[in-house]
Structure 1
Amino acid sequence: MTLSVDIFWSFRSPYSYLATPRLLEIRDRYDLNLNFRPVRPLAVRDAAFFERVHPNWPMYVVRDCFRLAQMAGLPFAPPRPDPIVQNMATREIATDQPHIGRLTRLGQAAVEQGDGLMFADKVARLIWGGTAGWNEGDHLADAATASGLDWATLDRAEREEGERLDTAIAANESAQNASGHWGVPLMVFDGEPFFGHDRIDVLLWRLGQNGLKPRP
C-alpha cells in the first residue's frame, strides 16, 4: 500500500526551503505520496506572532539557516524582496502584502496542475538562494517550466480564481492546526505531526514501521 504524508509549507520559511530537496529525494526513492499543502506564514496569519517571540530568536534563525545551508551545499541569502513586508527593526507586519498571497495561491495552483512540491522547490531556490528581484521578469515562469508546469495556466488561475484558491489554502491551514502543530515545514502522517526539517528522519522511521517500501 502506498503511504501518504501531508506537507504543510510556507514560501516565507527558510526551513521549508532547506527541507524541500530532501523531501523530493525521498519522494523519488520511496513508494510514497507527499501531499503538498501550502499555507501562509504565521507572521501574516497572526500579526502579533513576532511580538511574542524572544528578541534573540530572529537572528538565531538567520545564523542557523546559513550554517544548515552550508552543510547541505545549498545557496542561502536574505530574500530580495522578502515574501512578506515587515519592518524587521520593529517587527511590525505591513497591512499591504503584495507577494505572499500571490506566491501561496501559485503554490496551490501548482498542486492542482500536478507538482506543487517541485514548484515550491524551484521558487524557494530563487527567494532564498540569492536571486534579487525573484518576483520580476521571467523568474517565476522559468520556475514553473523547470517544474514541468504550464506558467500561463498557473498565472491565470492565480489572477482569475483567487477566491477559490484562497478557500483551498484556508482548508490547508485548518488541517495544519488540527494536526497539533502550527509551524512549517510540518509533515503529518496518519494524524501524527512531525515539525521541522530535522524531523524528516524521524518521519522516515515511522513510515518504515508502517511498511514504507522503495520504489521499484
Structure 2
Amino acid sequence: MTLSVDLFFSFRSPYSYLALPKTMQMAADYDVTVNLRPVYPIAVRIPGFFKRANPQFARYVVLDSSRVAQRENIPFRFPRPDPIVQDMTTLDVAEHQPYIHRLTRLGAAAQADGRSLPFTRAISRVLWDGSVASWNEGDHLARAAAEAGFDLAAMDAAITADPDRYEQIIAGNEQAHAASGHWGVPTFVFENEPFFGQDRIDLLIWRMEGKGLKRR
C-alpha cells in the first residue's frame, strides 16, 4: 500500500528549499506519495513575528542554512529579490506582497493539479541556487515550469481569473498545518504526526517503515 505524507512548504524558507533534494530522493526510493502543500511564510502568517523574535534569530538562520547547504552540496544563495518585501533594518513587512502571493498561488495551482512537488522543486531552484541574477526577470520561471511540465503563462492566467480559488487552497493548507501541531516549515505530517525540519526526513522514513513503508 502506498503511504502518503504532507509537506508544508514556504517559498521563502531556506530550510524548505534545502529539504527538497532528500524529499525527491525519498519519493523516488520509497512507495510514498508526497503532497506538497504551500503556505505563506511566517512573515505573512504571523504579522510582527520578526519584530518579536530574538534579533539573533535571522542571523542564525543565515549562518545555519548556508552551512547545511555546504555540507549537503546543495547550490545555495538567498533569493534576489527576497520573495517577501520587507525592510530588514526596521523589519517592517510591506502590505503589498506581489512576489510571495504569486509564488504561493502558483504552488497552490500545481497542488490542485496533483503535481506540486516537481513544480516546486523546479521553481525553488531558480530562487535559491544562485544560477540567475534576478529570479523574477526574464523567462527563468517560465523555463523552470516548462521543465516540470507546466505552462506558467496559463497558470498565471488561471490565477488572475479566479484568485480566490487558490487563496482557499492556501488557507486550507495553513489550517491543516496549524492542526498538525507545528507552525514552522518545512513540516512533514504523516498520520497526524509532525516532523519539523529538513533534518527530520530520516526520522520520518523510520516512522513510515514502522507502518509498512516499502522500497520501490
Equivalent residue, structure 1, for 2:47: 47
Match of 2:211 in 1: 210
CA-to-partner distance for each residue in 1:70-92, whole Å, 9 max, x for gaps? 11111111211000011111111
> 1:34-113 alignment to 2 at 5 Å?
34-113=34-113
Q: Structure 1-normalised TM-score?
A: 0.96
Tell me, in whole angstroms, the C-alpha distance in 1 between the residues paired with 2:103 and 2:144. Answer: 12
Q: How many residues align?
A: 215
Who is 2:174 aligned against?
Answer: 173
- Displacement of 1:45 after TM fit? 1.4
Q: CA deviation at 1:46?
A: 1.3
- SS across alignment from 1:92: coil
Matching of residues 179-190 of structure 1 within 5 Å: 179-190=180-191
Distance 2:39 2:59 in 1: 23
Query: Where do 5+ consecutive residues of structure 1 fail to align?
Result: none
Q: Contact conserved, 1:2 with 1:32, CA < 8 A, in 2?
A: yes
Cα distance, 1:150–1:113 mapped onto 2, change above 3 Å = farther
Distance in structure 1 (CA, Å) of the matches to 2:71 and 2:149: 28
Deviation at 1:147, TM superposition (A): 0.9
Amino acid at match of 2:147: A
Residue deviations 1:168-210 (CA, integer Å, cap 9, x gap):
1000000000010011000000000000001111100000100
How do 1:149-160 residues align onto structure 2 when only pairs under 5 Å count?
A: 149-160=150-161
Residues in 1 aligned to 2:133 and 2:161: alpha-carbon distance in whole angstroms: 27
Amino acid at match of 1:173: E
- CA shift at 1:157, angstroms? 1.8
Report the Cα distance in structure 2 between the residues aligned to 1:119 and 1:68, rounded to whole angstroms. 23
Q: Distance in 2 between matches of 1:52 and 1:194?
A: 25
* Aligned partner of residue 87 in structure 1, secondary structure: coil
Deviation of the 1:50 alpha carbon? 0.5
| 8 Å contact kept, 1:113–1:149 | no
C-alpha separation in 1, matches of 2:151 and 2:97: 25
Q: Which residue of 2 aligns with 1:195?
A: 196
Q: Is it true that 1:129 corresponds to 2:129 in the alignment?
A: yes
Deviation per CA, 1:87-134: give whole Å up to 9, x if none: 111111111111001100001111223421111111111111122221
Separation (CA, whole Å) in 2 of partners of 1:68 and 1:157: 37
* Cα distance in 2 between the residues matched to 1:160 and 1:73: 40
Q: Where does the alignment leave 5 or more consecutive residues of structure 2 unmatched?
A: none
User: What is the CA–CA distance in structure 2 between the aligned matches of 1:114 and 1:5, rounded to whole Å?
Assistant: 14
